[in-house]
Structure 1
Amino acid sequence: MSETPLLRLFDGLAKGDIAAVRACFSPEAVIWHGFDGIALNVEDFLCSMEGLIGYTAERWIQDVHSLVTAEGLVQQHVFVVHTQAGDRKAWYVCIVAKIADGLITRVDEYIDRAGFFVPANAF
């Protein structure tokens, strides 16, 4: 699978590189959360990602499955973090992304933030 804006986004998060994350989005992009029904603009999303980066020592995705659609792609993956306190946590995630000209214009993120699990193979 060729690199997608979503894979670049998660690579940027893994590196703690907010500028790389920002570069994945069109300026007018919307990021919607299924867990709270709130839609964020890019700057608000980046603020929340800065918080995530501060809370975690490491972040990555694994078990990535993507399906290209007419408007972008659907991606399922496991999002894994090691917190600053040393805890390991993971969540199953599904993202529906609209992409235009190589940039994300909309993300619908489906994740149960309360439903984390401790991954057995996340080292």
Structure 2
Amino acid sequence: MSVGVPALADRFFAAVTARDIPALDSLYGPDAVVWHNYDDVEQDRDDSLRLLGQLARAAGPMRYTEVRRIVLEDGFVQQHVVELGGRCEGLRMPAMLRVWCDDRHIHRIEEYVDPGPLTARLAATARS
């Protein structure tokens, strides 16, 4: 097991929490893809970075709680709860990611989450 994978995972989640898109860009490999269970679509790295930037602007601050991570030979699995603030205050979204990476770059993410509550909250607050 590489000691670099846990450090990469920590940097990735810190960058998402800080809404640091340039840091995320540096962590993604050039051919990185992100797949979501809710739409069964693979996003390329640019689309993923764009979506993360939009989410950060729309949803407000977020933090990861109840983190459980298992480091694997080729990456890691992490279960967590995303707690949102701002206009999504109080929203908690359980999620799981399977990430394929080396010590420096993420190559593939498979994300398992139900975005329904977030989508509903953003729609409701947009109407208010």
Instruction: Name the SS of the counterpart of 1:47 in structure 2.
Output: helix
Aligned position for 2:89: 87
Q: Does 1:64 align with 2:67?
A: yes
What's the TM-score once normalised by structure 1's chain length?
A: 0.83
Aligned residues between the structures? 115
Aligned position for 1:77: 80
Deviations 1:29-60 (A, max 9, x none): 11000111010111100110111111133111
Could you list the structure 1 runs, at least 4 aligned residues long, displaced by more than 3 angstroms after superposition: 1-4
Q: Which runs of 5+ in 2 are unaligned?
A: 119-128
Aligned position for 2:106: 104
- CA distance in 2 between counterparts of 1:87 and 1:73 reads 29
* Larger proportion of helix: 2
* Larger proportion of strand: 1
What's the TM-score once normalised by structure 2's chain length?
A: 0.80
Match 2:14 to one of 11, 15, 22: 11
Give the alignment's Cα RMSD to 1 decimal. 1.9
Question: Given that residues 8 and 103 in structure 2 are in contact (C-alpha distance below 8 angstroms), is that contact kept between their aligned partners in structure 1?
Answer: no
Q: Which runs of 5+ in 1 are unaligned?
A: 117-123
The structure with the largest alpha-carbon Rg is: 2
